[in-house]
């Protein structure tokens, strides 16, 4: 069945460092891909999305490009801040409003 795999955490970075969180998926076809973020004590929030191959999603300085050749959707940010400390989830879905299939999450901790 469909699945999403993320790099293991926790990831610890210093402020202003470059961030990459790897995400790959297994699916037959080309689903839509998402990154969600969960700040401490809060619910999941949609960070960015890409609905077709080669699309780039971006928000709040984060970017991810849908690569069908490598079935990947890696999350990147050029300069992280302490406020980016959270758990990041990669996910896929097949249609608007359809169920999300999540990866296991990657915890990011940014130190000043």
Partner 1 sequence: EAGVAQSPRYKIIEKRQSVAFWCNPISGHATLYWYQQILGQGPKLLIQFQNNGVVDDSQLPKDRFSAERLKGVDSTLKIQPAKLEDSAVYLCASSPRTAYGYTFGSGTRLTVV
Contact residues for partner 1, defined by CB under 8 A: 4, 32, 34, 41-46, 49, 51, 89, 91, 93, 96-97, 99-105
Query: Which among 54, 86, 85 has a CA at the least distance from the CA of 72?
Result: 54
As a whole number of angstroms, the distance between CA 110 and CA 100 comes to 27
Minimum distance from residue 61 beta carbon to partner 1 (Å): 19
| Strands of the 56-59 sheet, one edge to the other | 19-21, 75-77, 62-65, 56-59
Minimum distance from residue 99 beta carbon to partner 1 (Å): 4
Nearer to partner 1, 69 or 95 (CB): 95
Distances (CA, A) of 5 to 19, 26, 90: 17, 8, 8
Q: Quick check: 82 and 90 in contact, CB under 8 A?
A: no
Nearer to partner 1, 17 or 65 (CB): 65
Nearer to partner 1, 52 or 68 (CB): 52
Nearer to partner 1, 103 or 108 (CB): 103
C-alpha triplet 38, 109, 45: angle, nearest 5°: 15
Minimum distance from residue 49 beta carbon to partner 1 (Å): 6
Minimum distance from residue 59 beta carbon to partner 1 (Å): 11
């Amino acid at each position: 069945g469909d699945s999403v795999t993320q790099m293991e955490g926790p990831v610890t970075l210093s402020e202003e460092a470059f961030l990459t969180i790897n995400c790959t998926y297994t699916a037959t076809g080309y689903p839509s891909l998402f990154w969600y973020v969960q700040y401490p004590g809060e619910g999941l929030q949609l960070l960015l999305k890409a609905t077709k191959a080669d699309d780039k999603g971006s928000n709040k300085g984060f970017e991810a490009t849908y690569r069908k050749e490598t079935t990947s959707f890696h999350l990147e940010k050029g300069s992280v801040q302490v406020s980016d400390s959270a758990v990041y989830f990669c996910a896929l879905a097949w249609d608007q409003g359809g169920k999300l299939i999540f990866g296991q999450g990657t915890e990011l901790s940014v130190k000043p």
